[in-house]
Structure 1
Amino acid sequence: MRNMLRGLAAALFLAATSGLAHAQSQGQGQGQAQSWPDRPITLVHGFGAGGNADVIARIVAQPLSEALGKPVVVEARTGAGGNIASEYVARTTPDGHTLILLTGGHAVSAAMYRGLRFDPVEDFAFVSLVSVFPFVVATRAEGPVGSMAELIAAARRDPGGLTFSSVGVGSTQHLTGELLAQMAGIRLTHVPYRGGTQPLTDLLSGRIDLMVDSVTVTGAAIAAGKVRALGVTSAAPWPALPGAPTVSAAVPEFEVVSWVGLAAPARTPEHVVERLNRELRAVLAQPAVRERLEGVGTRVNATSPDEMRRFISGEVKRWNEVVTRAGIERQ
């Protein structure tokens, strides 16, 4: 009888201590969830001031800061088509205080570079896409090229004589220009930049012949009549550029639509990723934010973390096929 009582007491003690431990664990988890963020958050991107990534990062940062109760500070780490920024964030502490605004170039890099020091999919905790957008093939308004058909004809007369800009070797803009050349049967000369507004400055001064860039960068100059949109890379006309033809009107089946999205380092706590997704989706649903994003030529496209991961995996596969099919040498 005494042994039975001792056994019962031991069982009750174990149950009580187990329940206490579970409660403490839950309390710690809730405390961690409530304590994040406990300091300013850095939102990194890999391109120059005034470029598409920089503008979108700043549109999103302020309302996200208000939602999270801590400053969200935008920081550019430029170079290598965004890879310097991606590597930096992939190696930072996964505590939710360093995020990255990825662009379509993130998936392109997986196709273009053999020696990346990060995995474009496995080294990131994806939060949500922010928006999607096409690029614009543009030239200065007073230049000799007045249409896509004229561009193709000029390039055939002088192979390699026309130059086009991008935001870096291996960027989506770079591969968009190369894909255009491949599908049109012409040769263009690539001139890489670090992003920002310098390509537009050089286009207007005549240093380069063509730009392949976003509506964010080109839209104001097109509206002012300083730059001519030869074609948008979406399959259908884009609302932000009324009247601009599609590239596919001159080069059948040509289509490139890029994207930006928010991510954190892999192994960022799940509750942080879930809250980021929830708050970002609420921010993107705000009419003022949506209007600003549409005003720079993008279309809001919020997703779940899993949807973003599947999307980027698909983009990596797609650009691998483009690089192989176009015969572009991997770096």
Structure 2
Amino acid sequence: MTRFNSGRRDTLRALAAAPVLTSLGASTAWAADPAPSLAGSPIKLIVPYTPGGSSDIIARAISNPLSEALGTNVIVENKVGANGNIGADFVAKSPADGHTLLLCDVRALSISPSLYKLPFDLAKNLQGVAMLAYSPHLVVVHPSVPANTLPELIALSKKKPLNFAVTAMGSTAHLTGKLLEEKTGGKWDYVPYKGGSQAINDTIAGQTDMLVNGMLATLPFVQAKRLKVIAVSKPTRVALLPNVPTIAETIPGFESGTWQGVMAPAGMPPAVLKRISDELLRIIRLPAVREMLVGQGAEVSTMNVPEMAKFIDNERKTWDALVKRTGLKIE
């Protein structure tokens, strides 16, 4: 069962009820050059992971403002499986008319071609629409684990491998664990799950020792002292956890995290693509949305269509190199 704290529920309710704020500049631009209408059929916003994770939180925060902006219902639908690839495949094979979108961890999607035999071609069948947010990973453990720093955790794991809850095999969290092993000699036994919320719940229950997961979904459980935070994967310390060291303080240059963005079937008409991209970039910057994300450890970090294309290409090369070095295979 997905667990939400009351503060998050209240925030999402407020966002759902809030009126959409359209800037004068945007209104004037569209008045001068009317955008294509998407009214009529509802828009499916596919989240390819279980409810309660970073992508799901953001999708539900933006769905009502996006619905108001585009003049049609936006329905968030979770299509879970194969580290997000089932949902991605559904979107890749949908009509490129703007009525089916994917909100996912774009970094994780960029990794998938290196690990899976996909039923779609990421480069040919999907295209970026808008990058919305970045959330660093937190390295957390069950409170009973006798380690308070990353070096202590590494030393403990060398005595006996720790059970590492993996949100999905082949996910960014999984590959971050592999990268930590490569850089430090740490030893983990990976325990696979079908989503972040399930992995969090089992680590809270003590069924697994440790977890790497996006800060947006994990921070509330750290604040409630149900998980103990060891390190954060952003290059610099985060304001919400000023006393928590970064991984980079132990491993210089280390960075990982989730990049939440919207993808669409390739071949969408340029005017429709621009309309949706512009609205998403405007909505994610709304004060209520920004404050919700910042308050839970995420950052509004935006990219437009060409910037996303470059990002995905770079990510594919970076993580493919790690997969080849470690010999990682998904059974």
TM-score, structure 1 normalization: 0.86
Letter in 1 for 2:237: P
Q: Secondary structure at the match of 1:82?
A: helix
Deviations 1:189-226 (A, max 9, x none): 11111114221221121100001101122111111222
How far apart, in 2, do the equivalents of 1:64 and 1:93 lie?
A: 20
Q: CA deviation at 1:44?
A: 0.2
The equivalences for 1:21-40 within 5 A come to 34-40=36-42
Overall identity of the aligned pairs, in %: 36
- Report which of the two structures shows the higher radius of gyration computed on alpha carbons: 1
Q: Contact conserved, 1:45 with 1:100, CA < 8 A, in 2?
A: yes
Deviations 1:66-102 (A, max 9, x none): 1111111110111111111101110111111010012
Look up the match of 2:174.
174
How far apart, in 1, do the equivalents of 2:230 and 2:240 lie?
A: 15
Look up the match of 1:155.
157
Q: Contact conserved, 1:47 with 1:167, CA < 8 A, in 2?
A: no
Q: Secondary structure at the match of 2:60?
A: helix
Q: CA deviation at 1:302?
A: 1.8
Of 67, 70, 73 in structure 1, the residue corresponding to residue 69 of structure 2 is 67
Look up the match of 2:165.
165
Q: CA deviation at 1:330?
A: 5.8
Look up the match of 2:17.
none
Look up the match of 1:139.
141
Q: Contact conserved, 1:43 with 1:99, CA < 8 A, in 2?
A: yes
Cα gap change, 1:196/1:155 in structure 2, threshold over 3 Å: closer, same or farther? closer
TM-score, structure 2 normalization: 0.86
Q: Contact conserved, 1:134 with 1:256, CA < 8 A, in 2?
A: yes
Runs of at least 5 residues in structure 1 that lack an aligned partner in the other structure: 1-29
Look up the match of 2:123.
121
Question: Which shows bigger deviation, 320-329 or 304-313?
Answer: 320-329
Q: Contact conserved, 1:37 with 1:96, CA < 8 A, in 2?
A: no
Q: Contact conserved, 1:121 with 1:312, CA < 8 A, in 2?
A: no
Q: CA deviation at 1:132?
A: 1.1
Structure 1 consecutive aligned stretches of length 4 or more whose deviation exceeds 3 Å: none
Q: Contact conserved, 2:172 with 2:257, CA < 8 A, in 1?
A: no
Look up the match of 1:101.
103
Aligned: 1:112 with 2:115: yes
Letter in 2 for 1:288: A
Q: Contact conserved, 1:47 with 1:77, CA < 8 A, in 2?
A: yes
Cα gap change, 1:102/1:217 in structure 2, threshold over 3 Å: closer, same or farther? closer
How far apart, in 2, do the equivalents of 1:328 and 1:279 lie?
A: 39
* Paired residues, number: 298
Letter in 2 for 1:106: L
Letter in 1 for 2:131: L
Look up the match of 2:318.
318
Look up the match of 1:17.
none
Runs of at least 5 residues in structure 2 that lack an aligned partner in the other structure: 1-32
How far apart, in 1, do the equivalents of 2:200 and 2:257 lie?
A: 21
Deviations 1:241-300 (A, max 9, x none): 332111122333322133011111011111110100111121122111111122232111
Look up the match of 1:82.
84
Letter in 2 for 1:234: K
Letter in 2 for 1:314: N
Q: Secondary structure at the match of 1:197?
A: helix
How far apart, in 1, do the equivalents of 2:66 and 2:38 lie?
A: 14
Look up the match of 2:49.
47
Cα gap change, 1:330/1:167 in structure 2, threshold over 3 Å: closer, same or farther? closer
